[in-house]
Structures are given as structure tokens and as C-alpha cells.
Chain A
């Protein structure tokens, strides 16, 4: 559906700006008025990571007058495969500052506001109120529901994108004119069911495919041109190289934008989405050992003074990158479907680990439920092991 322009064109373009944006100005649909709208627009990008990188760079180049960046993280080497707003020399720097420097380099006429804080229920409303439109480049369900609900409550358009391995999705949510994120996905998946990019990986260039769609939609919303993705879901499959669009309906039963909303103010999104399941949290309570404990146990086993089985519940390609000496690989899926249980020795203690401790806690719940009462898992997983015991090994 056609929407009115989000932003008024009440600024004047300088001579420098006219020169810089000339390729926009000569497109009849954009023209002087469209470029003035962009210039007058305030866009907030939540996250300067995979999606945030191309989004911020193209928003800056397009001449969006004010860009806000919400980001509290620092640049890690493993980000550089896809987060192209950061470079080698930025490793260890604040992502927000690194992103600002790149934006300034692309277009010094853009005003950049840094919000170096974790977005939560306490700050989101004040922050979003300062902007016309929100572009979402976050990496977790809790923040996405938080962003959606705040946008609905404030009446802001929400340009959404999401990626995993080779698949991407994008849409525009705006409860005043169409559906919101909860109309599409009423509830988040239970913790542990849908892997994150850190767990499952993501093709770096997928960020550009989806981030560029988000910027296209933001520009269309600001200038009021074309048909936006409001009420439509774009689904991209990089392996098949196809884009499909399906309709999203406004759900009259929607908890936040429906006819009888039950969510009328912000809620506790961490609790809503969970980080690990209740079962996993219960299993891990009093059954978590540290990597230092594990090292001591492995040394004792080497001396023949102890016996146990150390099981790595990650995926084979993760095991190939780095592993703890003496571990055997049984991926988490085999615990969830029960097939791993037949492989476990009943006479030995079972010790589980994964990358960070989330998946091993899920597997621990299954193992304990099957009667292995003395089973434990390793807090912090193989990353903590490399950090504290074998720092010469790679991390990912």
C-alpha cells in the first residue's frame, strides 16, 4: 500500500549537497523534495553488526541527515567476515565509534549520534522517540520483540531484517498502517530450538542482501515513493538465488496491536524469550564445573586416578575448528532425539560441553532425565577452555 512520506522536506540543500546527491536529484521520483526529506530524516539503527554495517553505510551515502547507532559491543576479529563497516584496525574498538568513523568517511554531512548502551525496557522509549524510523540489525529474539513493542507503542515504522546461514527475511512493520512483528511471529521459539548466527553461522554477504533491502525500504518510507514491504514478507534463499514475497496479515488477536491488546506497556523480554530453557537451567544448577575443574579432572584421568567421559555436543564442523583434548563428539540433536543416550556409559560419569555452555545445559537436562544423576556440564564451554587453559588455540 502507498504511504504518505514520513518526513517533511523543510530543509534547504547546500551547493555541496546538491553536487553530492545529484544522481538522486535527477531521478524524478526522488528529486529535490525526496532528497530534502532524506536530509531531514532521523534514522536509528539498532546494532552495528552484520545487518547494521551495510544499512548504516548506505543510509549515510544516501544522505539521511541524522543517524543514530545503538551498540555496546566491541569489534572482534570474527565480526570482519561480514561486518564491513569495521576493519582490521578496529579490532578491540567500540563498534559504535568504529561505525561512526566509517559513516563520517563515507559522508561527513551526516550527523551521527552514538548510543553506547544495551537497549532495554528502561531506555528504548526515550531513544526511539528521537527518531523517525527504526532499522533493526539486532541478533536475538528478545531485542526484536522489544524493538517491535516500543515501535507499536510509539507509532514508529520498524524496518526489520533477519538472517541465518543462507536464508534472509525482511519486512516493514507499522501497526498504524498494517501488521507488526508479533502479527507475523506471535511468540519466540523456545530457547535452544533456533540457533543464533554465533551457533549456526551466516554467509557474510547475506548481510548485504538483506541490509540493502532494509535501506531501500527506509528510503521509500522517508520519501513516500513506491510500494513498501508493509504487509509483506520478503524471503531470500541465497542457495537457490530466489526472492519470494508472501502476504502478512494484521492479526486482530495480536497481543500488542490487535483489537484487545494484552501488552500495553513494555514487558520483561529476557523472560519472554528466555536464554536457556527452564529444564536446562534446573539441570545446570549445582551441576556446572569450570574449565579449571575440567583440566584437573582430565589430568587425574591421564594419571589413571579418575574415569569419566567428556562429550562435546557441538556440530562436527565446530569440532574441527577447535576441541578439548580427550573429548568425543555427539551433537546436541542426538540428545534431543534420544539417540545419544544409548551411546553413554552407565559406569562412568558424563561431562558435557559445547561452545559457551547453552547447548550443553540443554543436553544435560536430557541426560539427567535419563537417570545419569551425576552428569555435569562445563560452564563457558570450549571458548572458556581456550581462554583459560590453551590460549594458543583458535576461537570462533
Chain B
């Protein structure tokens, strides 16, 4: 499935400055794999060493935080809008 992924400023060094990129996959894990194939290094910023979602990064599929649905197995329908929302503390 083709999805669009919103990239936060902090991760745009991996996407050549692009704020939104396309990625394919039937679920979030596949989308992240596809992102990593095109933008090497980005997966490690959202997944920990054991491949789990990092606890200070939230990923939304449309309006749903995947932690409250199926995590990395969350389905990503065609046209889904995926948002990566990292914790920032500046003020």
C-alpha cells in the first residue's frame, strides 16, 4: 500500500530535508523497512536495538497512535497518512 509519511524536522537530515515522503507497505513494519531502504539510518531513530518502537517516539497512522492499536503490525491502508512525532523538550 502506498502511504505518505510526515517527517519531523529532527529526522529530515535522513530525507534530504523532505517533510513528507512516500513509503509502501501493508503494515507499519513494512513501511519502516521501505523508509530505511530509501533513507538509510532513519529506522534506528524510531526502533530500538531489538526492533521495537522507541518509547519517546510516537507513530500515528492517520489519527491513531499505533501503541494503542497493533504497534508495528498496525495496518496501513492505501493513502494512509503516517506521522512520526518525537519527544522534544525545548522551551
Contact = CB atoms under 8 A, between A and B. Distances in A.
Given A197-B90, A240-B19, A246 B10 contact: no
A91 B45 CA distance: 38
A162 interface: yes
A139 B8 CA distance: 19
Interface stretch (A18-26, A48-56, A283-291, A381-389): A48-56
A249 to B, nearest CB: 5
Interface in B56-91: 56, 58, 60, 63-65, 67-68, 83, 85-91
Interface string A182-222: 00111111000011110010100000000000000000000
Contacts of A165: 9-10
Contact of B90 (A50, A186, A240, A247): A50
A244 interface: yes
A194 B10 contact: yes
Nearest to B20: A240
Interface string B23-63: 00000000000000000010000000000001110101001
A164 B90 contact: yes
Given A51-B91, A235-B85, A185 B56 contact: yes
A169 interface: yes
Interface string A167-188: 1010000000000000011111
A235 B89 contact: no
Contacts of A139: 89-91
Contacts of B88: 162-164, 167, 169, 194
Nearest to A49: B91
A248 interface: yes
A314 B77 CA distance: 41
A246 B85 contact: yes
Contact of A136 (B9, B83, B91): B91
A129 B64 CA distance: 35
Contacts of B8: 167
A165 B85 CA distance: 14
Nearest to A50: B91
A163 B8 CA distance: 12
Nearest to A196: B90
Contacts of A239: 9, 19
A394 B41 CA distance: 34
B9 A52 contact: no
Interface residues of B, number: 25
Nearest to A143: B89
A240 B9 CA distance: 11
Contacts of A163: 88, 90-91
Q: Which interface class (under 10, 10 to 19, 20 to 34, 35 or more) fits A? A: 35 or more
Contacts of B60: 246
Contacts of A107: none
B91 A246 contact: no
Nearest to A203: B9
A224 interface: no
B89 A144 contact: yes
Nearest to B86: A194
Contact of B91 (A138, A167, A244): A138
A163 B90 CA distance: 5
B20 to A, nearest CB: 8
B63 A141 contact: no
Nearest to B60: A246
Interface in A332-380: 333, 337
Interface in A126-168: 136-141, 144, 161-167
Contacts of A186: 55-56
Nearest to B19: A240
Nearest to B65: A249
A237 interface: yes
A140 B67 CA distance: 24
Contacts of B58: 184-185
A63 interface: no
Closest 8 CB pairs of A and B: A197-B90, A187-B55, A164-B88, A189-B56, A139-B91, A51-B91, A185-B87, A164-B90
15 contacts: A47-B91, A49-B91, A137-B91, A162-B87, A162-B89, A162-B90, A164-B9, A164-B90, A187-B55, A194-B56, A197-B90, A200-B10, A200-B90, A239-B9, A246-B83
Given A141-B87, A249-B65, 10 more contacts: A49-B91, A140-B89, A164-B10, A166-B9, A167-B9, A186-B55, A194-B56, A194-B89, A197-B90, A246-B63
